[in-house]
Structures are given as C-alpha cells and as structure tokens.
C-alpha cells in the first residue's frame, strides 16, 4: 500500500493530468412539507381541543432532489479556502556523466572538451508546486499541509476574489503533516472553524474544497468511508477516509461537514494512477486542533513523552499473559533516561489506560501520550500478572532527537549449562565464542538461539540463530534449563502459548508468543 499512497501536493513538472467527470449529482432538500390548519365549518359543534405540545426543533435538512442545499453551502465556504503556490530553487546537475576513457586514448581530449562545454555552467532552476489551505481567523492565519510548503523559498496564497498575498511560515509539524501560515490582508478575511471529528460517523456526508491539478476552487462531495485509519505515514496516524473526489493539489484543503465545520485536513490518497479512485485520507480536526494551538502559541509542537518502547498485544501474547482478550500496549522496554524509568513500570506490563483515557490497542498510546502536555503527572494503569496496577508518571517532552528505545540490559553473562532443544529452538548458554560468532553486544545477557527448526512456530515468528532469549513468561533466564523450566511451568497452568522477550545482537527487544507443544 505504501507504494500507492500519494501526498496530494504535487510538483507541476512531469505530472500526467487525469480528468474525471462524475456521472450524476448529490443534492439535498429541506423537508418542505407544511402543516395545514383545519378550520371547522360554521354551525358545526366542535369538541374542545387538548393544548398542543411544545413545538419540536426543526429537523436537520435531508438530501432530496431539487434542493440548493449543497450549492448554498459551497457558496458560503468557497471564500475561506485558498490555493497555495510555492517555488523552490534547486541546483541543476550535469545530466550525462562522462564515459570512462583510458588515459592516453586519442578520444579522451575530445570527450573532455565536449562534456566541459555541456556542463558550463550549471544554472539553478525553480520548481513550482501547488496545494490548498483554509483561513481560520480573519487576521490572516492559514492552515495547510507541511509537505505543501516543505523546502519552499516563496509561498503565495491565492484567494477566490483574485487577491494574491505572500505568506510567512509560522510553524510546522511534519509528524502530523500540518503547517501554519500567516498573511497580511488589507481587510478581514472570511474564516472557518474546526468541528468535532470524534462525533463524525461513517456514512456522514462531507464536502471537500481545494485546488486539484491547479484548477482552483473545486468542490466535491462524498461520505465518510471509515475512521481511525492507519496508513503508515506517521506516528500518529488516525485518518478519516472519504470517497469525496480528492486529487493531487487538494493537499492541505479542508474536509467540511454539512454544518460548514472543518472536520479534516485532506492529506493523502490511495491511487495507482495519481488520480482519485475514491480512497482519500484527512487528518481529523481534533488532532489538528491541538497542533494548531501549539503552532500558534509556540511556533512548534510540545508533546508529552513517556520513554518506553511498545508493541502490539496479539491474541497469542494475550493468552500467554493470562489476559481475557487482546488489548492495550505491551511495554517491550523502558528508556533509562525516560519519564517512565523509576516509576515502577516494567517490560512485560500492558498499558490499558493513560491519564484517564483508555488504550484499546498499541497505536493509541503514542497518540494519547503526545496529546498530553509535558511535566504533567498522570496515572498509568497497567496489567501485570492478571492484576491492574496504577503508577504515577510525570511526562517529559518529546524532542525530535529522542526516540523511545528499550533499555539495554546490563547483567554479566553466565556460562556452564548444557545446550537443549525446545519449541523448535536449539539453545545454548551465552559464551565468548557465541558473542563473537553472532556479534552480540557485551551488555546483552540470556540464552542464545543457535538453530531453528524450519517448520516450527518459532520460524514463523522470525526467530533466527543469534537471537537471545532474555525472559520467558516475564522471568529472566540465564541458562537453557531455565527456559525449559519456565515452559514446563506454563504447561502446568494449561497455557497454550508462552511469552518470550527476545533481543537481537544490538540490544533491540521484542516480545514473541510461541505455541507450547503438547
């Protein structure tokens, strides 16, 4: 999928423009039914009517043929959406390298003279790019995508009335692909506001306005196709998916609900051709609002940081930990210098709640932690040995240079046990020879995998010779016999799988659940 995922702000050079005409239109109508009052005829006795109940609020407009609803909405919103053009100066390079001609060849002087003339001088050229954006306050603040203005030397904002204004960059956040610009208008601008993307439902109608292929002010309509999409383009993926027609150049433009509120920022499409196939993705407004507020105040983002390395809780891992179902985020390691160090949180714990917010799956935790302001004391609820425990942690600040890596173990190696085979793994005690053979870091301690049965569950889990087993069922192991003992204990508890903490030669940790053979 990654190879077909396209950002929507494309360079103009080299693009093949694909035009698409939609057959049919989506239209709406308000309920125009009227209630007629019935007047009794003269001389006819009528019974006293019961008092009428209070009038109910008028229902929201429904889609009906013949309505001007969408046209009115588009007319109201078009003035708040802008086209963004950028230019970037890049250095040209000689396109054809000189062939390798042997010294002394009669052709060498000829080729040197020819290629010297071709390369004199290399002149810089300018590359143009187009995208979209929208106004969020009358004074001139505009939101777009980071990739629309990335590396730009000049940014120009084009309004629907023909006005063109130079823009300055206020701040950017590559992790969510959001950027904030500022222009200085002669008169107040028409702004739009953010809506609540959390209340958006699959099937809700949405309207996209933007600058596809540089055509300007283009309106398309569709529905919300899905929510909470992870498309592997950033650490906080939580996209709204829509089938509204969105193409290259729509990047940074707004996705509106029928109230005219921005519920998403159009960012990427899934396409093999570069044109719309009805699968587009928008950054949800509730994620964008936090980033926008920080960019406005600080010119940068200030995210919370926990200092742990996590991985997914699979069904096998959940069973091996005695959990009723797979949920939460499994702690694979704790950074020595991170906020979680010393809090009591340990590798093997499963985080199910952070600062009062549930962690349903692994990818929820980084997003929730990032939304938390630095230096805040929070409650972290974890599962350990089948029981819930709560720890207090003061969040740090996530800097660009910091990474949530696992703690390297510092115990000294222990030798003197015999090799064994279990669960398709041939195991040996750590030794200087094995360290040298597999280039295992001196800080890593445990039991070394020296062979893996090709048809085993271990092979399916990508365990290879040179991997070190650090823990079995959340207890440290020093010898192959320790591994066998812990597996037997799990069998007695009727566990169908056992959890292993593995380390590669560099110290990178991960958890793997292996089926216990009967």
Of residues 129, 132, 197, 251, which has the active-site annotation? 251
Alpha-carbon gap, residue 138 to 496, rounded angstroms: 62
Is residue 113 annotated as part of the catalytic site, yes or no?
A: no
SS3 assignment, position 9: coil
Alpha-carbon gap, residue 275 to 257, rounded angstroms: 23
Q: Closest by alpha carbon to 208, among 116, 317, 74? A: 74
Alpha-carbon gap, residue 155 to 386, rounded angstroms: 56
Q: Closest by alpha carbon to 194, among 266, 299, 264? A: 264
The H or E element containing residue 334 is: strand 329-334
Alpha-carbon gap, residue 363 to 268, rounded angstroms: 20
Alpha-carbon gap, residue 342 to 334, rounded angstroms: 10
CB-based contact 256:222 (threshold 8 Å) = no
Strand partners, 397: 304
CB-based contact 393:374 (threshold 8 Å) = no
Say how many CA atoms lie within 13 Å of 408 toward its Cβ.
Answer: 11
Of residues 80, 173, 177, 353, which has the active-site annotation? 177
Of residues 132, 147, 243, 320, which has the active-site annotation? 147
Q: Closest by alpha carbon to 330, among 364, 378, 303, 371? A: 364
The H or E element containing residue 169 is: strand 168-173
Alpha-carbon gap, residue 167 to 4, rounded angstroms: 32
Alpha-carbon gap, residue 16 to 482, rounded angstroms: 62
3-state class percentages of the chain: helix first, strand second, coil last, to nearest 5:
15, 30, 50
Is residue 336 annotated as part of the catalytic site, yes or no?
A: no
Alpha-carbon gap, residue 191 to 78, rounded angstroms: 10
Is residue 245 annotated as part of the catalytic site, yes or no?
A: no
Catalytic residues: 147, 177, 251
């Amino acid at each position: 999928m990654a190879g077909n995922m396209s950002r929507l702000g494309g360079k103009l050079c080299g693009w093949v423009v694909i035009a698409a005409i939609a057959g049919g239109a989506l239209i709406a109508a308000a309920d125009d039914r009227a209630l007629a009052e019935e007047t009794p005829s003269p001389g006819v006795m009528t019974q006293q009517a019961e008092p009428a109940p209070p009038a109910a609020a008028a229902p929201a407009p429904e889609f009906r043929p013949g309505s001007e609803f969408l046209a009115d909405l588009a007319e109201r919103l078009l003035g708040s959406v802008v086209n963004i053009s950028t230019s970037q100066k890049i250095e040209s390079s000689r396109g054809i390298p000189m062939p390798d001609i042997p010294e002394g060849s009669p052709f060498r002087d000829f080729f040197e003279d020819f290629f010297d003339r071709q390369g004199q001088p290399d002149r810089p050229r300018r590359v143009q790019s187009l995208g979209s954006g929208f106004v969020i306050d009358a004074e001139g603040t505009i939101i777009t995508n980071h990739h629309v203005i990335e590396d730009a030397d000049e940014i120009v904002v084009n309004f629907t009335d023909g006005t063109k204004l130079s823009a300055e960059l206020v701040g950017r956040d590559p992790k969510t692909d959001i950027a904030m610009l500022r222009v200085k208008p002669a008169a107040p601008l028409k702004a739009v506001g953010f809506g609540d993307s959390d209340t958006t439902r699959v099937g809700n109608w949405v309207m996209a306005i933007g600058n596809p292929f540089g055509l300007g002010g283009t309106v398309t309509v569709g529905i919300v196709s899905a929510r909470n999409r992870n498309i592997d383009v950033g650490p906080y993926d939580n996209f709204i998916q829509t089938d509204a027609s969105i193409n290259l150049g729509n990047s940074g433009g707004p996705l509106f609900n029928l109230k005219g509120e921005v519920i998403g920022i159009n960012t990427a499409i899934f396409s093999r051709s570069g044109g719309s196939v009805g699968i587009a993705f928008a950054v949800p407004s509730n994620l964008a609002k936090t980033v926008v507020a920080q960019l406005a105040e600080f010119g940068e983002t200030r995210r919370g940081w926990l200092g742990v390395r996590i991985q997914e809780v699979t069904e096998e891992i959940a069973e091996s930990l005695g959990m009723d179902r797979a949920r939460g985020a499994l702690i694979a390691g704790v950074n020595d210098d991170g906020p979680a160090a010393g809090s009591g949180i340990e590798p093997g714990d499963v985080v199910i709640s952070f600062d009062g917010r549930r962690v349903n799956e692994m990818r929820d935790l980084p997003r929730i932690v990032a939304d938390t302001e630095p230096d805040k004391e929070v409650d972290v609820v974890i599962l350990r040995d089948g029981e819930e425990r709560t720890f207090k942690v003061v969040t740090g600040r996530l800097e660009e240079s910091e990474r949530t890596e696992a703690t390297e173990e510092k115990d000294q190696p222990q030798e003197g046990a015999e090799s064994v085979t279990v669960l398709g793994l041939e195991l040996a005690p750590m030794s200087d020879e094995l360290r040298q053979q597999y280039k295992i870091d001196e800080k890593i301690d445990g039991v070394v995998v020296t062979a893996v049965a090709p048809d085993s569950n271990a092979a399916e889990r990508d365990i290879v010779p040179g991997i070190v087993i650090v823990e079995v069922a959340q207890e440290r192991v020093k010898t192959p016999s320790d591994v066998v003992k812990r597996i037997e204990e799990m069998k007695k508890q009727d566990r169908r799988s056992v959890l292993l903490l593995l380390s590669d030669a560099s110290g990178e940790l991960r958890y793997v659940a292996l089926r216990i053979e009967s």
